[in-house]
């Protein structure tokens, strides 16, 4: 599942290759996957690539923005004109066969390179909005977990006003943006805090550990190119490696790296939650 590190990895790669190119055409193979008026897209130069929360932003010369949310199974793949394997930049061989049955949108650029939006479950989307609408799109999000705005004073203030579990609190995008299930589970293991604890019951030290651990696992995710669990791949079709560094996520029945106790899985707020019943108090 693409969370902040996975989306950041894709955005970083697109930033290397897209700016300066012009959008020649867009093929919408699934209506549900595209929102907005596609006419504002044609013949527009790509100015810059950004990321906010789990959304990739592509700024166009006419000051419209493409916003891309991968949700759970989305992929964004960049394929150069030669479609060479390993031609300059390493690329997975299957991207040469795109589009495939999960391709929903294809952007063709002026130099004949393509950006393929694949999405197995069709929850993701690409929106084309004007500059004035961009802030609206992000109005309900809290600060990105890896930003300076995600300070301890902010985190503690929000935590005091809530009674949900710390696990649900971390997944609440209106508090902090970018954290999904993988990194929420790992952050709580690293912080040695039980996912069942109510946020307003955590003391200052525990809250500090949770915030620090959250920033830490997210940074590790970025440094390792994301977690390729389920469908995630980078813009070149290659996997990240965070899945090899996972602390508890999907490790039910295995030993906790910290204390050796068997990792358990239970549902919290309807979501699978992996934790160590011994060292996460």
Partner DNA sequence: GTACTTGTTAAACT
Partner DNA sequence: TAGTTTAACAAGTA
Q: Which residues, at least 6 apart from 145, have a Cβ–Cβ distance to it below 8 Å?
A: 4, 176, 177, 178, 179, 214, 215, 218
The reply to whether 90 sits near DNA by the rule CB under 7 A is no
The reply to whether 54 sits near DNA by the rule CB under 7 A is yes
Say how many residues touch DNA, by CB under 7 A. 31
* Closest distance of CB 255 from DNA, Å: 20
**Residue the block writes with tokens 């970083």:** 12
Contact by Cβ (8 Å): 149, 175: no
Q: Single out the residue of 137, 133, 130 nearest to residue 60, CA to CA.
A: 130
* Closest distance of CB 198 from DNA, Å: 8
Q: In this structure, what are the phi and psi dihedrals at residue 243, rounded to the nearest 5 degrees?
A: -60, -25
The reply to whether 28 sits near DNA by the rule CB under 7 A is no
The reply to whether 122 sits near DNA by the rule CB under 7 A is yes
Nearer to DNA by Cβ, of 21 and 162: the residue is 162
Q: Single out the residue of 128, 86, 16, 54 nearest to residue 238, CA to CA.
A: 86
Q: Single out the residue of 115, 79, 102 nearest to residue 231, CA to CA.
A: 102
The reply to whether 267 sits near DNA by the rule CB under 7 A is yes
* Given 151, 160, 272, 281, the residue binding DNA (CB under 7 A): 272
- Please tell me the distance from the alpha carbon of residue 236 to that of residue 234, in angstroms, as a whole number: 5
The reply to whether 16 sits near DNA by the rule CB under 7 A is no
Find the binding residues for DNA in span 125-144 (CB under 7 A): 140
Residue 113: other Cβ atoms inside 10 A: 18
* Given 103, 114, 168, 194, the residue binding DNA (CB under 7 A): 168
The reply to whether 69 sits near DNA by the rule CB under 7 A is yes
The reply to whether 263 sits near DNA by the rule CB under 7 A is no
Nearer to DNA by Cβ, of 181 and 228: the residue is 181
DSSP state at residue 48: E
* Parallel/antiparallel/unpaired status of strands 46-52 and 55-60: antiparallel
Find the binding residues for DNA in span 190-229 (CB under 7 A): none
The reply to whether 279 sits near DNA by the rule CB under 7 A is no
**Pseudo-torsion of CA 84, 85, 90, 92, nearest 10°?**
120
The reply to whether 281 sits near DNA by the rule CB under 7 A is no
* Closest distance of CB 124 from DNA, Å: 9
Radius of gyration for the alpha carbons in the chain, expressed in angstroms and rounded: 20
Name the segment binding DNA (CB under 7 A); options: 17-25, 68-76, 92-100, 107-115.
68-76
Nearer to DNA by Cβ, of 172 and 223: the residue is 172
Q: Single out the residue of 208, 201, 211, 205 nearest to residue 175, CA to CA.
A: 211
The reply to whether 253 sits near DNA by the rule CB under 7 A is no
Active site residues per annotation? 2-3, 54, 271
State the residues that interact with DNA by CB under 7 A.
1, 3, 32, 53-55, 69, 71-72, 101-102, 120-123, 140, 161-164, 168, 171, 173, 180-182, 267, 269-272
């Amino acid at each position: 599942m693409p969370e902040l590190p996975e989306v950041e990895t894709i955005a970083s790669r697109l930033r290397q290759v897209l700016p300066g190119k012009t959008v020649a055409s867009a093929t919408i193979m699934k209506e549900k996957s595209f929102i907005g008026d596609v006419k504002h897209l044609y013949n527009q130069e790509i100015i810059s690539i950004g990321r906010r929360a789990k959304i990739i932003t592509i700024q166009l010369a006419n000051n419209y923005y493409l916003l891309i949310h991968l949700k759970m199974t989305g992929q964004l793949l960049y394929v150069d004109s030669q479609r060479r394997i390993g031609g300059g930049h390493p690329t997975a061989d299957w991207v040469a066969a795109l589009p495939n049955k999960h391709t929903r949108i294809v952007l063709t650029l002026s130099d004949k390179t393509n950006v393929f939006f694949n999405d197995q479950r069709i929850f993701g989307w690409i929106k084309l909005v004007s500059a004035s609408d961009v802030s609206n799109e992000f109005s309900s999000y809290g600060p990105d977990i890896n930003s300076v705005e995600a300070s301890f004073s902010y985190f503690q203030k929000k935590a005091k006003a809530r009674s949900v579990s710390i696990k649900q609190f971390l997944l609440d995008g209106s508090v902090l943006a970018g954290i999904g299930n993988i990194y929420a589970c790992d952050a709580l293991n690293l912080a040695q805090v039980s996912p069942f604890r109510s946020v307003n019951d955590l003391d200052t030290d525990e809250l500090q550990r949770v915030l620090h651990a959250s920033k830490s696992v997210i940074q590790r995710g970025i440094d390792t190119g994301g977690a390729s669990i389920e469908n995630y791949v980078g813009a070149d079709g290659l996997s990240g490696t965070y899945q090899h560094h996972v602390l508890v996520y999907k490790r039910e029945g295995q030993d906790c790296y910290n204390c050796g106790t068997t990792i358990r899985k239970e549902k919290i707020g309807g979501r699978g939650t992996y934790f160590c019943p011994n060292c996460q108090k």
